[in-house]
């Protein structure tokens, strides 16, 4: 397998739209529960709130939900309203859908900064951090364009990196599993003066569950936290390299695909609070490289011959691409580089029940490629990256929040201005009404926008054709719901949340294959309405000396659309999970052992191969975690995790077969001062 070399890049970064004041939990040491009542929601607008008072449907994950995951995507599989569409397992490549939105319609924010993947949203979840580097994860199940910007079309995922503890510590993790899964990770926290530093280095590999599903993932992460007086600084530098067999990833016509991706992120955020004033600013930069081989090159696969053809010697010679007169239509790998730089600022003033906010996010998105964009003038013909494009984007917001007796409301108006697509207005309103001390009614309405990716605009190879005439897609959404707290924290807290939503999308961008055609084309669909609802019950009990349910969540989500694929096949927009049941229960024993059971039952409408032996897809798993040590300087913890317990054969996307039953065993050793 080839190793992707990440270039050494100096990334200027620009930071945080709504830097959270959440105190991140340490997920490398003993897992600390986040009390349901105290869980802070950070991504619904510019005002931090307790979960009970959130004006949108939000799920705040427990650290134990992602602590044994190979990627954060594995934990999101069991969150209400979230559809995790995997091509490669273990987070090799994952598309996230919230309430039926496509993978391009979900915003990702890390430490308050929106991350964007202008090349293609397939790479948005290439997060160059291990799950253990995270301290807070939440999912907003509603469009958040007026606060989170372009891309927060159907929902958002908000993450905070782990701030660590006050002392010095080091951990080492080793994990083995099915399909020759191997993972090693080292992590160190240390303090110098007022600065806490965090460094992680990890490597994971697998031979794959089928032919051409091997993979290698390498990550390097540095984070820092500094606080003094009214000021706080939070930064990160992170890099990731992936190399993997991509069997059937984008088409089953040419199954033997291969891909290498590399990403590097730098980010710095500053926050100051004094009296009634809060000011935030930040820098962000993200570099991403992608090499995609429609015909996998290398020993045992396709090799470039002297006459310029890619040829494989299997049972009989096979040449990549059909012959045209004297040549092949396949010229070799697609190679792309994208670079995003962004800057944000927020100013907030509180006065007699009012909170006024003004914020802006300005960013530049660049693509250089041998396939995407216009031909670059003056480029050397020998240069790989002969095409390219760039665009500038500005998101500006003003917001007023009013808190009254038993209610609060927020009115926001956002403006999106893009150098290619023009200007869009993004109004929104939110309202929360108290019913006693333990109940809340809430509702919201707003508008979101999403611009086409460079792949949507320019790609043209292997049976897929983009369109430079694509228009941005827009959505108007309504949500209403209620939330109740039914128990006291001393005996355990239970929350019940029920919501209904409606979303009208116009000019929705989809890749469709019209009846009688073999080509998928990027096009704007006319208006499509989506509607549905969900109900989630969450329970938590403080640790006791008896066997007890430490954390549990059960939920049901359902939705439908006003349009079906008639006369064409929709590859994304009309391929969604219309019914989903999720359950997660963690039971703690009298000793240092805990048991977790998780499950998801799904019914999808769309073009994915899906499952052949059941009406509903059922993904169930279990886990035993344990810990030991003296509890002072030296300690250890371990887990045995079982996924897809019933060995279901299924595909989330196209005909990309997902792994069957998997078992992973891991041990982590920790030393702390």
Provide the domain count of the chain.
Answer: 1
Q: What confidence score (pLDDT) does residue 97 get?
A: 94
> Which CATH number fits the domain that encloses residue 601?
2.40.170.20
Chain position carrying tokens 């340490």: 26
Q: Per the domain annotation, does 14 fall within a domain? A: no
Q: pLDDT above 70 covers what percent of the chain?
A: 90
Of 29-38, 52-61, 486-495, 547-556, the range with the lowest mean pLDDT is 29-38
22 lies in a domain?
no
**C-alpha closest to that of 248 among 290, 294, 291:** 294
pLDDT tens-place string over residues 92-127:
999 999 999 999 999 999 998 999 999 999 999 999
What are the two backbone dihedrals, phi and then psi, of residue 469, each rounded to the nearest 5 degrees?
-95, 5
Q: Are 89 and 227 within 8 A, CB to CB?
A: no
Q: 420-440 burial, b for 16+ CB within 10 Å, e for fewer?
A: ebeebebebebbbbbeeebeb
Instruction: Kindly indicate the confidence band of residue 22, based on its pLDDT and cuts at 50, 70 and 90.
Output: very low
Closest CA to 399 of 362, 432, 360, 434: 360
557-584: pLDDT as tens digits: 999 999 887 788 888 898 889 999 999 9
Tally Cβ neighbours within 10 Å of residue 139: 22
Residue 14 pairs in a beta bridge with: 283
On the question of pLDDT at 29 being above 50, the answer is: no
pLDDT band at 489 (very low <50, low <70, confident <90, very high): low
Closest CA to 521 of 566, 472, 460: 460
Element spanning 149, H or E: none
How much is the average pLDDT of 451-473? 93
Give the C-alpha separation, 291 to 257, whole Å: 11
Strands 334-351, 231-245: parallel, antiparallel or unpaired by DSSP?
unpaired
Q: For residue 163, give its domain range.
A: 40-294+333-672
The predicted pLDDT at position 45 comes to 79
Helix (H) or strand (E) run with residue 65 in it: helix 63-66
- Rounded to an integer, the average pLDDT of 646-656 is 87
pLDDT in tens, 138-164: 999 998 877 877 888 899 999 999 987
Does residue 328 form part of some domain?
A: no
Question: Averaged over 444-465, what is the pLDDT?
Answer: 92
**CB-based burial, 72-108: b 16+ in 10 Å, e otherwise:** bbbbbbbbbbbbbbbbbbbbbbbbbbbbbbbbbbbbb
pLDDT in tens, 164-202: 777 799 999 999 999 999 999 999 999 998 999 999 999
Cα→Cα distances 14→232, 501, 546, Å = 15, 33, 48
Coil vs helix vs strand at 20: coil
Residues 6+ apart with CB under 8 A from 307: none
- For residues 496 and 487, give the distance between their C-alpha atoms in angstroms, rounded to a whole number: 11
pLDDT at 652 > cutoff 70: yes
The answer as to whether 1 is a domain residue is no
Nearest to 54 by CA among 398, 412, 479, 531: 479
Say if residues 644 and 621 touch (Cβ distance below 8 Å): yes
* Assigned domain for 10 exists: no
| Main-chain dihedrals φ then ψ at residue 103, nearest 5 degrees | -65, -20
510 occurs within a structural domain? yes
Mind listing the pLDDT tens digit for each residue in 246-271? Answer: 999 988 888 999 999 999 999 999 99
Is residue 227 in some structural domain?
yes
Q: What is the largest CA-CA distance in the chain?
A: 80
For residue 46 the two structure tokens come to: 């510019």
Q: How far apart are CA 458 and CA 372, in angstroms?
A: 5
Return left, alpha or beta for 288; rule: phi > 0 is left, psi -120 to 50 is alpha, else beta. beta
In angstroms, what CA-CA distances link 639 with 5, 67, 271, 595, 612?
Answer: 32, 10, 38, 10, 32
Residue 82: inside a domain: yes
- pLDDT for 27 equals 44
DSSP code string of 551-580: EEEEEEEEEEES---SSEEESSTT-EEEEE
Can you point out the beta strands (E) in 405-488?
A: 407-418, 422-435, 439-450, 460-461, 464-465, 473-485
Q: pTM of the full predicted structure?
A: 0.91
Share of the chain above pLDDT 90, in %: 68
């Amino acid at each position: 397998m080839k190793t992707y070399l990440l270039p050494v890049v100096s990334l200027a970064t620009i930071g945080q739209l709504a830097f959270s004041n959440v105190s991140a939990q340490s997920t490398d040491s003993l897992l600390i529960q986040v009390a349901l009542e105290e869980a802070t929601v950070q991504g619904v607008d510019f005002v931090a709130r307790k979960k009970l008072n959130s004006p949108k449907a939000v799920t705040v994950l427990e650290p134990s939900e992602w602590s044994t995951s190979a990627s954060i995507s594995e934990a999101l599989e069991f969150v209400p309203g979230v559809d995790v569409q995997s091509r490669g397992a273990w987070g090799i490549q994952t598309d996230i859908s919230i309430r039926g939105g496509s993978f391009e319609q979900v915003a990702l924010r890390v430490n308050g900064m929106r991350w964007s993947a202008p090349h293609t949203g397939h790479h948005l979840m290439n997060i160059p951090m291990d799950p253990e580097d995270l301290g807070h994860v939440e999912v907003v199940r509603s469009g958040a364009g007026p606060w989170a910007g372009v891309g927060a079309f159907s929902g958002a995922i908000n993450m905070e990196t782990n701030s660590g503890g006050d002392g010095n510590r080091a951990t080492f993790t080793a994990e083995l599993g099915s399909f020759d899964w191997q993972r090693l990770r080292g992590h160190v926290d240390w303090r110098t003066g007022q600065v806490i530093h965090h460094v992680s280095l990890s490597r994971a590999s697998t031979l794959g569950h089928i032919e051409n599903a091997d993979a290698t993932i390498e990550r390097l992460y540095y984070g820092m936290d500094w606080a003094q007086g009214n000021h706080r600084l939070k930064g990160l530098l992170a890099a990731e390299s992936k190399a993997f067999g991509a069997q059937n990833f984008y088409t089953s016509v040419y199954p033997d695909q291969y891909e290498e991706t590399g990403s590097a992120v730098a980010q710095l955020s500053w926050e100051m609070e004094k009296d009634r004033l809060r000011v935030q600013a930040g820098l962000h930069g993200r570099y991403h490289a992608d090499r995609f081989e429609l015909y996998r090159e290398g020993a045992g696969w396709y090799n470039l011959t002297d006459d310029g053809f890619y040829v494989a010697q299997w049972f009989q010679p096979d040449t990549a691409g059909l012959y045209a007169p004297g040549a092949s239509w396949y010229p070799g790998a697609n190679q792309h580089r994208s670079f995003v730089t962004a800057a944000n600022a927020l100013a907030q003033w509180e006065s007699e029940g009012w909170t006024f906010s003004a914020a802006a996010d300005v960013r530049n998105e660049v693509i250089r490629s041998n396939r995407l964009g216009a031909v670059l003038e003056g480029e050397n013909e020998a240069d790989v990256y002969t095409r390219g494009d760039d665009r500038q984007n500005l998101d500006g917001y003003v917001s007023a929040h009013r808190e009254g007796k038993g209610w609060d409301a927020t009115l926001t108006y956002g403006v999106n201005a893009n150098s290619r697509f023009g200007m869009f207005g993004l109004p929104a309103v939110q309202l929360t009404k108290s019913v006693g001390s333990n109940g809340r009614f809430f509702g919201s309405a707003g508008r979101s926008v999403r611009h086409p990716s460079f792949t949507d605009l320019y790609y043209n190879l292997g049976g897929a054709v983009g369109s430079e005439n694509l228009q941005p897609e827009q959505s108007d959404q309504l949500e209403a719901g209620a939330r109740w707290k039914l128990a006291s924290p001393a005996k355990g807290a239970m929350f019940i949340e029920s919501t209904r939503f409606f979303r009208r999308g116009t000019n929705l961008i989809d890749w469709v294959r019209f009846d009688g055609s073999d080509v998928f084309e990027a096009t704007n669909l006319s208006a499509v309405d989506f509607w549905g609802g969900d109900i989630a019950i969450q329970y938590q009990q403080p640790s006791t000396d008896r066997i007890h349910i430490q954390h549990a969540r059960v939920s049901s989500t359902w939705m439908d659309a006003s349009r079906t694929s008639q006369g064409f096949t929709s590859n994304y927009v009309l391929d969604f999970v219309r019914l989903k049941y999720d359950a997660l229960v963690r039971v703690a024993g009298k000793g240092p052992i805990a048991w977790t059971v998780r499950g998801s039952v799904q019914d999808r409408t769309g073009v994915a191969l899906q499952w052949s032996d059941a009406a509903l897809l059922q993904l169930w798993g279990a886990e035993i975690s344990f810990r030991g040590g003296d509890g002072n300087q030296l300690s250890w913890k371990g887990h045995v995790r079982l996924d897809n317990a019933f060995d279901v054969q299924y595909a989330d996307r196209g005909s990309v077969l997902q792994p069957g039953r998997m078992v992973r065993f891991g041990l982590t050793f920790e030393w702390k001062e």
